[in-house]
Amino acid sequence: DTAVSQTPKYLVTQMGNDKSIKCEQNLGHDTMYWYKQDSKKFLKIMFSYNNKELIINETVPNRFSPKSPDKAHLNLHINSLELGDSAVYFCASSPQGSGGAIETQYFGPGTRLLVL
Amino acid sequence: KQEVTQIPAALSVPEGENLVLNCSFTDSAIYNLQWFRQDPGKGLTSLLLIQSSQREQTSGRLNASLDKSSGRSTLYIAASQPGDSATYLCAVYSGNTPLVFGKGTRLSVIA
């Protein structure tokens, strides 16, 4: 009965590799997000999708490409991984896509990415 | 640009104490403010959401207040328990990005 799930939970890889992180929500929400939490514990929004359409794209390198095959899934593909990409990546969802005016967001457990 | 600051960064208290966590934000034009809890190895759990028109919200032993004009919020935890040990994050929604987070306060409640 997991609400927001992410795979994998841990990801260790070499610099230069390409990797993907998957996210699924079974809450019927319209909007999904990707956040990055760096080593200093700052959580920052990366992308937001509403009904499969990109609505927010913060200043993120082009190596990061989100893909939403349907509104229950939002995957994150990262090309040419760099050391600075090491972080915890959180997926989240919210019901209607206002981003939080009257609703909260539900977070996944996070994916811990370590680039060596 | 909205910035959120949380003080203290870490806090250790004996079980049973009442405690206050602080959050401040630079742009008072917010729609709402949320307090989250983050446990090690797990995602974030929303604790309380305060709309900009509200002054406070309560859930069990938790009480969050909001003073929008001064850019401040506090999270009050009554009769703390070891199970309250976690990192508490404050986040504001200003309409330009979904949520802007503080760095969090790491709370340890010692039995």
Q: What is the DSSP letter of A102?
A: S
- Residue A59, chain B, CB below 8 Å: the answer is no
Q: Decide if A40 and B99 are in contact by the 8 Å CB cutoff.
A: no
Q: Which residues of A touch B40 (CB under 8 A)?
A: none
Nearest in space to B90 (alpha carbons), one of B14, B1, B9? B9
Q: For residue A8, what pLDDT is reported?
A: 95
Q: Which of B40, B15, B38, B35 is nearest to B25 (CA)?
A: B35
**CA distance linking residue A75 with residue A5, whole number of Å:** 11
**The pLDDT value given to residue A55:** 78
Four-residue CA torsion sign, B94, A31, A85, A82:
negative
Write out pLDDT tens, residues A56-98.
Answer: 777 788 999 999 999 899 999 999 999 999 999 999 998 865 5
Contact residues for B26 (Cβ-Cβ < 8 A; gap 6+): B1, B2, B3, B4, B71
Please give the helix or strand (H or E) that residue A27 lies within, else none. Answer: none
The shortest C-alpha distance from A100 to chain B (Å) reads 6
- Which residues of B touch chain A, with CB atoms under 8 Å apart? 31-32, 34, 36, 41-46, 49, 51, 87, 89, 91, 93, 95, 97-101, 103-104
pLDDT value of residue A25: 96
Among chain B residues, CA nearest to A37: B103
Encode pLDDT of B34-81 as tens digits: 999 998 877 888 899 998 999 999 999 999 999 999 999 999 999 999
- A&B contacts, CB < 8 Å: 62
Instruction: Flag whether residue A104 sits within 8 Å of chain B, measured between CB atoms.
Output: yes
Give the model's confidence band at B1: pLDDT under 50 very low, under 70 low, under 90 confident, else very high: confident
CA dihedral A80, A82, A84, A90 (to 10 degrees): 40
Q: Is A8 on the interface with B (CB under 8 A)?
A: no
